[in-house]
A and B are shown apart, each in its own frame.
Chain A
Amino acid sequence: QVTLKESGPGILQPSQTLSLTCSFSGFLLSASSVGVGWIRQPSGKGLEWLATIGWEDVKHYNPSLKSRLTISKDTSNNQVFLKITSVDTADTGTYYCAHTVYNNYPIWFAYWGQGTLVTVSS
């Protein structure tokens, strides 16, 4: 059974760095074409893919946010991390991690976590 669970700070101030953790089970990040991705949803709005990391440490970023994103993993503990620098109120929303199937880039988000709400406020 594949499960994913996000954790984060809940609330942080503008200009700070957001650190998120995805803890997963039921699949191996070392498998070919399998990764973990992050997708966010501003309150009341649609979904936006942020980044994915896969086997052999392959990383993909959304170009619109690439300069602010860093994705990494701890394969032995089945965890994936995302850092977003210099946050502002526009980064407020729910952040999901997802089991991702990818080829040269992410193609299918097959399993999702429950999401973690992040609020950026002074």
Chain B
Amino acid sequence: DIQMTQTPSSMPASLGERVTISCRASQGISNYLNWYQQKPDGTIKPLIYYTSNLQSGVPSRFSGSGSGTDYSLTISSLEPEDFAMYYCQQYDSSPPTFGGGTKLELK
């Protein structure tokens, strides 16, 4: 299985700040990388698919980039509702696997 490692595991940040979350695969995944947001109540929302494509309805302050083994999710200016857990997920090969998550916390 492809292992996905997210860094940092937690990140204190302030409203309006620009933040970047990293995700590294144990082997190249050819941009087959998705991002999800999980709120404290457990609700999971898809954000980005195929590295950089925003799911319908996701605000444009979210963006994704990367290639090979290294990928990132950037939020350009943090809003109150952005403080949550974020997970990356690869689908280059089966089984699809998720990163361990990054918790974005209010500083």
Contacts and interface: CB of A to CB of B under 8 A. Distances in A.
Given A108-B34, A108-B49, A114 B94 contact: no
A96 interface: yes
Contacts of A111: 46
A106 B44 CA distance: 17
Interface stretch (B19-27, B60-68, B97-105): B97-105
Interface of A: 45-49, 60, 62-64, 94, 96, 98, 104-112, 114-115
Contact of B91 (A48, A62, A107): A107
Dominant SS among interface residues on chain B = loop
Nearest to A112: B44
B15 to A, nearest CB: 26
B96 A114 contact: no
Interface of B: 1, 32, 34, 36, 42-46, 49, 55, 87, 89, 91, 93-101
A48 B89 CA distance: 10
Nearest to B100: A46
Contacts of A62: 95
Given A94-B42, A109-B36, A47 B87 contact: yes
B47 to A, nearest CB: 11
Contact of B98 (A47, A104, A107, A114): A47
B94 A110 contact: no
A49 B97 CA distance: 7
